[in-house]
Amino acid sequence: MRHAPCAMRHALCAMRPKQMSFSFEIIHKSEENHARLGKIRTLHGCVETPAFVPVGTQATVKALTPEELCGLRVQMILANTYHLYLRPGHDVIGRLGGLHRFMHWDRPILTDSGGYQVFSLSRFMEISDRGVAFQSHIDGSRHLLTPEKVVQIQEILGSDIMMCLDECTPYPASHTESQRSLDLSIGWARRCKESRSVQDCSLFGIVQGSMFEDLRAYGVEALTNIGFDGYALGGLSVGEPKELMLSIAGFTLSLLPDSLPKYVMGVGHPEDLLELVSLGADMFDCVIPTRNARNGQLFVRSGTLNICNACYREDEGPVEAGCPCYTCRHYSRAYLRHLFMAKELLAYRLNTIHNIHFFMTFMKETREAIRQGRFALFKRDFYAQRSNLSIDD
């Protein structure tokens, strides 16, 4: 018998009925801005929002075990449909009991649709109304992902939150190109909804429309008419100026129904998370904490530090003074720099532990600030810390 990786579950979730399906509840709304505190319930437990969802592309958050993720208070992870479809194959995972059992993770899993990876990774790609044909980046084999297939894969994986197939509109794109892309994504979203066969998990629609307010509004109206369990903002953080990203995100978030989760995909710098929370976003995912950890970039209150810098060669201090994470309690910057320069595997583990701890603590403090009605003050303090201290880059 397999054991659940986490001894502790959220207290409220322990009271939930066994077969309760997806729901979202707003616990508290900020009076200062659009920030809100919420709770997503899934068959695999609850997620307190605003939440940051670490990326576990290949059914693993690189370098960490599920027990370590639980210890770091990770509530939900994102797994990648494109990668798991190609290797080891969703059928294999399905026959082995589903993704939760396969990877020994009993908390919620969100799976993306695979569309973004098809567009960014595959060698050959042909988009049509039917779906997207592509050649695997692993072995060159040819595949066709349709909206129906994407939902079927995610249902076999046993995802708690499934995403519709969409086309991530590149930036910059003309109004005409963006409209064509948006219409394609809307048509695919409708087919995703119609092809569902498992009702216990949830399905989110993804609003595209590039940087055009009229298209974003059109996308929101079309998707809400189809009706989804939550809504994501796609096509952001794709090269546009930050001010434009925040402006379009704020506009789109304001149009989405307040009673459902609002998820901004692929955004992960702490200052962006704070601004998007202020605008009403509930969920985020990004590779930044894990990928940057493996590149030697560590997040601290003042910004980031690059552990390979020579100034840390004999630095006996922790990554961040006062940080209670395992890495900071036991290891100096000098040791972490040594491990990183020597390309030792432990460097990737220790750096990732610190960065995930930083992001989880940051989101927990954000939620507490909203709950206590001092989110605006929390934001001011965050920016003050950034401007007072030096940042490596």
Which residues does the annotation mark as catalytic?
A: 112, 285
* Euclidean distance between CA atoms 325 and 358, whole angstroms: 8
**Is 72 near Zn ion (CB under 5 A)?**
no
- Beta-carbon-side half-sphere exposure of residue 132 (alpha carbons within 13 Å): 27
Q: Are 137 and 123 in contact (CB under 8 A)?
A: yes
Three-class SS of residue 200? coil
Smallest gap from Cβ 240 to Zn ion, in A, equals 32
Specify the stretch interacting with Zn ion by CB under 5 A; choose among 57-65, 155-163, 245-253, 324-332: 324-332
Q: Which of 147, 174, 167 is nearest to 207 (CA)?
A: 167
Q: Which of 264, 293, 323, 336 binds Zn ion (CB under 5 A)?
A: 323
Using CA atoms of 254, 257, 261, 264 in order, give the dihedral in degrees to the nearest 10.
-30
Specify the stretch interacting with Zn ion by CB under 5 A; choose among 29-37, 173-181, 233-241, 316-324: 316-324
**Is 328 near Zn ion (CB under 5 A)?**
yes
Closer CB to Zn ion, 46 or 363, in the complex: 363
392: left (phi over 0), alpha (psi -120 to 50) or beta: alpha
Q: Give the length of the chain.
A: 393
Specify the stretch interacting with Zn ion by CB under 5 A; choose among 3-11, 239-247, 328-336, 342-350: 328-336
Smallest gap from Cβ 325 to Zn ion, in A, equals 3
| Interface size with Zn ion, residues (CB under 5 A) | 5
Closer CB to Zn ion, 156 or 319, in the complex: 319
Closer CB to Zn ion, 218 or 362, in the complex: 362
Specify the stretch interacting with Zn ion by CB under 5 A; choose among 58-66, 152-160, 273-281, 352-360: 352-360
Smallest gap from Cβ 221 to Zn ion, in A, equals 45
Smallest gap from Cβ 63 to Zn ion, in A, equals 15
Closer CB to Zn ion, 204 or 331, in the complex: 331
Q: Which of 150, 248, 325, 350 binds Zn ion (CB under 5 A)?
A: 325
Closer CB to Zn ion, 337 or 354, in the complex: 354
Estimate to the nearest angstrom the gap between the alpha carbon of 139 and the chain centroid: 27
Smallest gap from Cβ 342 to Zn ion, in A, equals 21
Q: Which residues contact 30 (CB under 8 A, 6 or more apart)?
A: 36, 370, 373, 375
CA distances from 51 to 25, 40, 234, 362 (A): 14, 10, 17, 10
Binding mask 128-147 toward Zn ion (x if CB under 5 A, else -) reads --------------------
- Beta-carbon-side half-sphere exposure of residue 309 (alpha carbons within 13 Å): 14
Which residue(s) pair with 232 in the sheet? Answer: 206, 263
Smallest gap from Cβ 358 to Zn ion, in A, equals 7
* Euclidean distance between CA atoms 171 and 251, whole angstroms: 18
Q: Which of 90, 149, 216, 354 binds Zn ion (CB under 5 A)?
A: 354
Closer CB to Zn ion, 105 or 299, in the complex: 299
Structure tokens at 128: 């049509």
Q: Which of 35, 101, 48 is nearest to 76 (CA)?
A: 48
Smallest gap from Cβ 322 to Zn ion, in A, equals 9
Smallest gap from Cβ 368 to Zn ion, in A, equals 19
**Is 300 near Zn ion (CB under 5 A)?**
no
Closer CB to Zn ion, 40 or 325, in the complex: 325
DSSP state string for 153-198: HHHHHT-SEEE-------SS--HHHHHHHHHHHHHHHHHHHHT---
Binding mask 235-254 toward Zn ion (x if CB under 5 A, else -) reads --------------------
* CB burial of residue 65 (10 Å; 0-12, 13-18, 19+): middle
Closer CB to Zn ion, 246 or 323, in the complex: 323
Specify the stretch interacting with Zn ion by CB under 5 A; choose among 54-62, 87-95, 141-149, 354-362: 354-362
Q: Are 354 and 290 in contact (CB under 8 A)?
A: no
Specify the stretch interacting with Zn ion by CB under 5 A; choose among 130-138, 277-285, 346-354, 362-370: 346-354
* Euclidean distance between CA atoms 20 and 356, whole angstroms: 29
Chain residues that interact with Zn ion, rule: CB under 5 A: 323, 325, 327-328, 354
